[in-house]
Amino acid sequence: MGRSVLIADDHPLFRQALTLAVGQVAPDARIVEAGTLPAASRLACELDDLALVLLDLKMPGAVGFSGIALIHAEKPEVPILVVSSAEGESAAEEARAFGAIGFLRKDSDLVKIEEAVAKALGGHAPAGSSTPRGDAELEPIRNEVAGLTPMQLKVLLAVLDGQLNKQIAYGLGITEATVKAHMTAIMKKLDVRNRTQAALVARSLGLHLQH
């Protein structure tokens, strides 16, 4: 039975490099590419035989760790291997906290990437993928954010981006009443009542990461 690997990165040359890496360890895999988070999210939902997602954090439609959170919410059984240039020692731990099985920097050599892809396709976490310790203050919030539905995540990200309900409804193809219903559910789940708590939610999603 065939299997698909989704490569989500906005740089065509890097997608090509990852395609070569996947081809070396899984020549039978069908490779599907996406250059934006919305496209990656759509493909992840459409592919019934999806076996692995290679995901860049910094691409159109994604902020911080929102890409991991969204795709993990849509396909929790599919391993996500982050290949990113994101800076900071905590980036790898935070990526795993949102559902990624591993984190590789883009300057990793091809052999290391191939090894990580092979382990991920074999059902094993790549080396160094220990249980994240995380920030004690952010950990419970991060867990709650990770538990939101895909649509709730999309609404939350739009709100944190400063969009009005009317804009969110238009962008997601839903009614304003539905947006309000999602926001009520989100606020209840996250126990958000003021700007300070909202800021903690934003921090938990890594919205402070530099692009």
The confidence score (pLDDT) of residue 193 equals: 74
Domain boundaries, the chain: 4-121, 139-204
Place of tokens 């996947």: 22
* Dihedral of the alpha carbons of 195, 152, 181, 185, in degrees to the nearest 10: -70
CA atoms within 13 A on the CB side of 51: 19
Helix axes 150-160, 195-204, angle to 10 degrees: 120
* Fold category of 139-204 in CATH: Arc Repressor Mutant, subunit A (1.10.10)
What 8-state DSSP symbol labels residue 27?
T
CA atoms within 13 A on the CB side of 31: 20
- CB burial of 34-72 (b: ≥16 within 10 Å; e: otherwise) equals bbbbebbbebbeebeebbbbbbbbbbebbbbbbbbbbbb
Find all residues with CB under 8 Å of 7, minimum gap 6, and list them: 15, 18, 19, 22, 31, 32, 33, 34, 54
AA letter at 100? A
Rounded to 5 degrees, what are φ and ψ at 92? -65, -45
CATH superfamily of this structure's domain 4-121: Response regulator (3.40.50.2300)
The confidence score (pLDDT) of residue 55 equals: 95
Q: Which residues of the chain have pLDDT under 70?
A: 1-2, 87-89, 124-138, 194-196, 198-199, 202-203, 206-211
Instruction: Please indicate whether the domains covering 4-121 and 139-204 agree at the CATH topology level.
Output: no
N residues, the chain: 211
Place of tokens 């004690």: 136
The confidence score (pLDDT) of residue 130 equals: 46
Q: Which sign, positive or negative, has the C-alpha torsion 99, 105, 111, 113? A: positive
Whether this prediction's pTM lies above 0.85 is answered by no
For residue 108, how far is the Cα from the chain centroid? 20
CA 19 to CA 126: how far, in whole Å?
A: 18
The confidence score (pLDDT) of residue 40 equals: 93
Instruction: Round to the nearest angstrom and report the end-to-end CA distance of the chain.
Output: 39
